[in-house]
Amino acid sequence: MNDAKAIAVIGAGLAGLSCARVLQEAGVAVTVFDKSRGVGGRLCTRRGDGWQADHGAQYFTARSPEFQSQVAGWLEAGVVAEWQPQRAVFGPHEASAGEPVVRYVGVPGMSAPTKALAEALPVRTGHTVRRLLPVDGGWQLETVEHGLLPEVYRAVLLGVPAAQAGPLLQPVNSSLAEVAAAHHMLPSWTVMAQFAARPDLPFEAAFINDGPLRWVARNSSKPGRTGQESWVLQATAAWSAAHLEEEPEAAGRLLVEAFRQLGGPEPEQVSVHRWRYADCEAADTGSVWEAQYGLGLCGDWLLGGRVEGAWVCGRELAGKVLGSGHSH
Ligand SMILES: Cc1cc2nc3c(=O)[nH]c(=O)nc-3n(C[C@H](O)[C@H](O)[C@H](O)COP(=O)(O)OP(=O)(O)OC[C@H]3O[C@@H](n4cnc5c(N)ncnc54)[C@H](O)[C@@H]3O)c2cc1C
């Protein structure tokens, strides 16, 4: 039976899940859809033969009291832990000042806190939403894998990157498509490198302000990680854009070469991932809600471009939906 009181959230990343949780806690029937096999989005871990590596977000910080309180809950639940790698900075930089930064990671992998959020939520993975159909009383979703879904949703909230929100919003007569088009997302080539032994380097994580790499980190130094010695090498957005159509093997080779110039040894094996939409130019637009259409947008790209922003933005959107009285 159709339930036009229900709300659909597209995207089971941190933004979509935090949004869905607030709605659910307020008594709203909500279903989350994601195209992937699991939840977490860019909070993710690649697992290979005897190794693991976080190939998306590397760590996160908590600056607002609200997010600090959420992180405290995750720490207590054991799905997040502090990570204090031995750090270095290469290339031009100013000496850091002020409070030391506390860095957190999911345990045993980056998606752990999103899995905790998703536990009590109906999440339908393996559902790539390709079209939003306006119908009497709300929206129907058309998916790549399952065609047109029978349910009618009173509202649809998109927690997907700007570039993926755009095509869904284009046919809809709403200003949200313009918001999505105005936000530009940036790519990042990422290498996961495995070594026979721990590289003899005076750092476990490094910010690099010169050349193709922007960040390297010893994944094996994060709490709860198991398996072979593993590092993550991340390219800058500019380098990634310039090499976007490179073969993965060739891009990986160039990034390993840059790692070797920092003193790193030759890896035993590598796995290469191209993020077309890794992060974005910082924005502070915040979530967007169009009550007359029953459509909303949230995601890191609307608020700061990082993990904390995604969480805040998702909750903010839920607050707007509840505040507009649209949820019941
Ligand atoms: C390489 C890399 C390094 C990063 N490093 C850091 C870092 O160190 N610190 C930090 O704070 N942040 C970092 N980030 C950014 C951080 O990962 C994001 O800010 C955050 O995870 C975004 O969450 P989100 O929910 O907004 O989006 P996402 O996590 O991207 O979630 C969107 C979800 O929508 C789904 N989806 C998309 N289109 C559809 C569709 N049509 N139908 C159904 N589902 C769909 C996707 O599968 C995905 O699960 C990094 C990101 C990358 C890629």
DSSP string, 75-106: HHHTSEEE----EEEESS-PPP-SSPPP-EEE
Atom of ligand 1 nearest to the CA of 168: 41
Rg (C-alpha) for the chain, rounded Å, is 20
The answer to whether residues 151 and 243 belong to one domain is: no
CA-CA distance, 52 to 116, in Å (whole number)?
20
Roughly what angle, to the nearest 10 degrees, separates helices 307-323 and 14-25? 30
- Strands 295-297, 288-290: pairing is antiparallel
For residue 124, the SS3 value is: strand
| Model-wide pTM > 0.75 | yes
Residue 226's domain comprises 46-114+185-280
12 within ligand 1 shell (Cβ under 6 A) = yes
The larger pLDDT score, comparing residue 95 to residue 22, is at 22
What was the pLDDT predicted at 283? Answer: 84
Q: How many residues does the chain have?
A: 328
The larger pLDDT score, comparing residue 3 to residue 125, is at 125
Q: What b/e string do you get for 9-42 counting C-beta neighbours within 10 Å, with b at 16 or more?
A: bbbbbbbbbbbbbbbbeeebebbbbbbeebbbbb
The Cα angle at residue 17 between residues 14 and 20, in degrees rounded to 5: 150
Q: Work out whether the CA dihedral 179, 165, 274, 262 comes out positive or negative.
A: positive
CA-CA distance, 258 to 209, in Å (whole number)?
12
The answer to whether residues 12 and 135 belong to one domain is: yes
Instruction: With respect to residue 328, please indicate whether it lies within any of the assigned structural domains.
Output: no
Region 275-281: what's the mean pLDDT?
A: 89
The CATH code of the domain that includes 227 is 3.90.660.10
Region 212-221: what's the mean pLDDT?
A: 98
Residues 11-62 have pLDDT tens digits of: 999 999 999 999 999 999 999 999 999 999 999 999 999 999 999 999 999 9
Could you tell me the two tokens for 88? 């270095």
Sequence-distant (6+) residues with CB within 8 A of 102 are 61, 62, 82
Residue nearest to atom 20 of ligand 1 (CA): 307
The answer to whether residues 32 and 133 belong to one domain is: yes
The answer to whether residues 272 and 136 belong to one domain is: no
275 within ligand 1 shell (Cβ under 6 A) = yes
Residue nearest to atom 6 of ligand 1 (CA): 57
pLDDT band at residue 2 under the 50/70/90 scheme: very low
Domain count for the chain, please give it: 2
Could you tell me the two tokens for 34? 């994601």
Region 287-312: what's the mean pLDDT?
A: 96
Region 239-259: what's the mean pLDDT?
A: 98
Across the chain, mean pLDDT equals: 94
What was the pLDDT predicted at 327? Answer: 58
The answer to whether residues 204 and 292 belong to one domain is: no
CA-CA distance, 295 to 129, in Å (whole number)?
14
Q: How far is the CA of 136 from the centre of ligand 1 (A)?
A: 32
9 within ligand 1 shell (Cβ under 6 A) = no
16 within ligand 1 shell (Cβ under 6 A) = yes
Atom of ligand 1 nearest to the CA of 36: 47
The answer to whether residues 60 and 171 belong to one domain is: no
What was the pLDDT predicted at 99? Answer: 66
299 within ligand 1 shell (Cβ under 6 A) = yes
Residues 155-201 have pLDDT tens digits of: 999 999 999 999 999 888 788 999 999 998 899 999 999 999 999 99
The answer to whether residues 30 and 135 belong to one domain is: yes
What was the pLDDT predicted at 4? Answer: 61
259 within ligand 1 shell (Cβ under 6 A) = no
Instruction: With respect to residue 214, please indicate whether it lies within any of the assigned structural domains.
Output: yes
The larger pLDDT score, comparing residue 100 to residue 270, is at 270
The answer to whether residues 198 and 273 belong to one domain is: yes
Residues 287-297 have pLDDT tens digits of: 999 999 999 99
What was the pLDDT predicted at 137? Answer: 87
pLDDT band at residue 96 under the 50/70/90 scheme: low
Mutate to test the pocket of ligand 1, among 160, 207, 239, 271 (most ligand atoms within 8 A of CB): 160
Q: Which DSSP category does 29 fall into?
A: -
